[in-house]
Amino acid sequence: MTDAMATSPPKPPRVGAEQRRALALLAGSRDGVKAELLIHGHGFKRRVLAGLIRRKLTAAEREVAMAGGKTIEVVRIRITAAGRKAVGGDRAQFCAGDNTSLGLTGR
């Protein structure tokens, strides 16, 4: 191994166009996005979201909520630091903007 190889920073993971679109959308949301909104509202396939989670580019968190007097489980997906690297930005860059155009204003 050469000195140049030893000191070069690791390259961000490669992602496809659909994965990049999901990561960019998630990067714009401070609190993450409900999985069902990503699937039904934005048209992402479950396998795309599962792949991002498996590669640790996103993280899924289960939440319990009350709706109509019933307890329901909601899965919220958030981008990770590795996911931000994959889309070439940091948290400040993505969270500074207005999220209303992405439909991400509410929980």
Domain count, the chain: 1
pLDDT, residue 39, reads 96
Residue 9 lies in a domain: no
Put simply, whether the predicted model's pTM sits higher than 0.75 gets the answer no
Residue 44 lies in a domain: yes
CATH of the domain at 20: 1.10.10.10
The answer to whether residue 27 scores a pLDDT higher than 50 is yes
State the CB neighbour count (10 A cutoff) for residue 7.
7
State the CB neighbour count (10 A cutoff) for residue 77.
23
Model confidence over 58-85: pLDDT tens digits? 999 999 989 899 999 999 999 999 999 9
Average pLDDT for residues 44-70, to the nearest whole number? 95
The answer to whether the CB of 76 falls within 8 A of the CB of 60 is yes
Residue 1 lies in a domain: no
**Residue 50 vs residue 4, higher pLDDT:** 50
Which domain does 45 fall in, by range?
16-93
Residue 46 lies in a domain: yes
